[in-house]
Structure 1
């Protein structure tokens, strides 16, 4: 990524974190981040391409955050709960909404979202596999995929309903069921 594109993306990310992006035109966004809509189009091809770049960057940041959280977690459950706390934090909501927006756009093959689906889950599974090994947890990719899917589903429920507490209770219920099936669980 070019330095100019990276700097512009960083300014857009700051704007999204503070104001969201849902009802903002490309011209309005460009004015808010101190550039022209032509520069946004030059670097990101379309509004969809810009949104996809924001989501990709946020996904990278969330994987880095998960890796950092893993240094403090004594178990996979503690790590999942810590990650959920970050993902369900109101400050992250604009990025969560964009994730689901880009997912829908990519499912419809909208320009600018090419490749998004190719990197939707595998990077998370690769990281989860490594972190599970670091935490001495026996697991397989199917079980990890289930965890990613449950987390995403509950995150969608939380932003759609606005009831983060209910989604958090459901996550804890899932983790209780998961713990009950794991021979290597030691939450005592």
Structure 2
């Protein structure tokens, strides 16, 4: 008896992480090469993920879900600014560079085809929700917590993109300066 579609997709995602590690398959590997490594037919990947970009989006969504669990586990009572530092430290680690590169690639594709990347776009804000919860725990109003989390996530992602585009700049110092500005209650 065949398992439901969602179960097959989940098993394939597990197999992808088991085979390729926490970042999933690299950007230059084809669907056929991925299928060969998993010992499945490439049409199975196409059935569950649609395309190479769909596969990347699913892998990245699962990787971000796992990342968010790790980040959230740093302490349920962690404040907004320490959480921003934790997020920066986590994603600025060179071990995550391929994932950061894939994230920005997929964001670019999603801008042009939001319907094709619905799942990916839907969970992009999970990190902002973690930050919003921390800001509310620090006593900020719901509206201010939402705005602060959006600003923080946007700036941190922008700094990560800048690091990819121009790695010789002092991105870590700029990130610390930005995060420190959050401690004063002002991002201006």
Same fold (TM over 0.5): yes
Q: Number of paired residues? A: 178
1:6 corresponding residue in structure 2: 10
Task: List alignment gaps of at least 5 residues for structure 1.
Answer: 183-188
CA contact (8 A) 2:163 2:171 kept: yes
For 1:32-181, what aligned pairs fall within 5 Å after superposition? 32-71=37-76, 73=78, 75-109=79-113, 112-121=116-125, 123-134=126-137, 136-138=138-140, 139-163=144-168, 166-181=170-185
TM-score (ref. length: structure 1):
0.81
- Residue 50 (structure 1) shift: 0.6
CA contact (8 A) 1:48 1:110 kept: no
- Residue 44 (structure 1) shift: 0.7
Query: Relative to 1, partners in 2 of residues 1:16 and 1:25: Cα closer, same or farther, differing over 3 Å?
Result: farther
CA contact (8 A) 1:69 1:83 kept: no
Give, in whole Å, the separation in 2 of the partners of 1:166 and 1:41: 41
1:26 corresponding residue in structure 2: 31
TM-score (ref. length: structure 2):
0.81
Q: Deviations over 1:28-79 (max 9, x none)?
A: 1111232221111111111111111012112212221221113474x32222
Give, in whole Å, the separation in 2 of the partners of 1:72 and 1:26: 42
- Residue 137 (structure 1) shift: 4.0
